[in-house]
Structure 1
Amino acid sequence: MFGLFKKYATKHINTYSSYIINYANVMRVLAVAKIAPSFVLLVQTLQLRQTVENYVNIAFDDPSMSRAVQFLETLLKCCGTSGPEAYINLEGIPPELPPTCCDVQDNGTSCLIEDAYQRGCATLIGEAVQTWSTYLGYLFMVIIAGEVVKLTVASYVIRAIKEKLLRD
């Protein structure tokens, strides 16, 4: 019985082990290819943050985006791009802040700079992007390392089985 199994297994291991080894090698190449974007995500977090903050600043400067900006301020509980001071005009006169800058709104009236949220929306979003891109970069690196370990073990097991069957 074992002799029949050995003969059958030897034939099929020889036939299919090369496919499995080739598959493992292709998966290794793909894992290495995934390392590059993960590494860029980790290394370029500051540049990614600055890019996102620039886009938020552009949105705040665009009058057609005022409703989106107000929604953003209400949702994130932030005010302006870098805080309520972002609304100060060129003469240095503090303007009336939009009601979305304050937690308590009196019938939709403007809020005072002292009552406004002190965090800026661009800063808040930039910090979130930087934090999450770092977490995702590390997560991807851990997943890739796990894939490489599993593929290496699988290749070793296939080779060991093949050598054992050929020896016997």
Structure 2
Amino acid sequence: MLTLEALRRGGVLIVPLMLVSIAVVSIGVERLRFWWQWGRGDCVSPELALPELDQLKPSQASLRQQLLQERLERQLCRWDGILELCMVLGPLLGLLATVIGLMQLLQALGPGLTLPSQGGDLIAGYGQVLIGTVLGLSIAALALLVQRLNRLRAQVVLDAFSDHCLERRSGQI
């Protein structure tokens, strides 16, 4: 289905589609590596900064905690914007590649829209035209999966951090 020949015949938009797919896979691998390190404890936990909050005034401690939580969220949800862009760009580029391919096929049919005597290549071309759509939708599905799994894991960590902060505060009251 997605053979080298099919990609070659997919047209000029296959190159950006392939670049977008490489970006999504790269981000997925980076996030997997990040969460693996996080699980092993190789990453710096924001909870290490919580003892310093005990020495601050309550208003300052609250602001510092909020700052720590925002930094943590940025670290955990890194690349989300790029993944959202890929979820939109993938299908749009794929659809554009399909439309351009269909236009070329219709041009090959000529003004009478008649099949040439060697119509086998033309009919096979209809399948090739859809490669862009398949690739674009595959990119969007993979980007969505990576983003949602990352957000779910990030939300668990952020909730645990918030709970830990609340426990520390309630112990000080």
Which bin holds the TM-score, normalised by the shorter protein? 0.3 to 0.5
- TM-score of the pair, normalised by structure 1: 0.47
Q: Which has the higher helix share?
A: 2
Greater radius of gyration (CA): 1
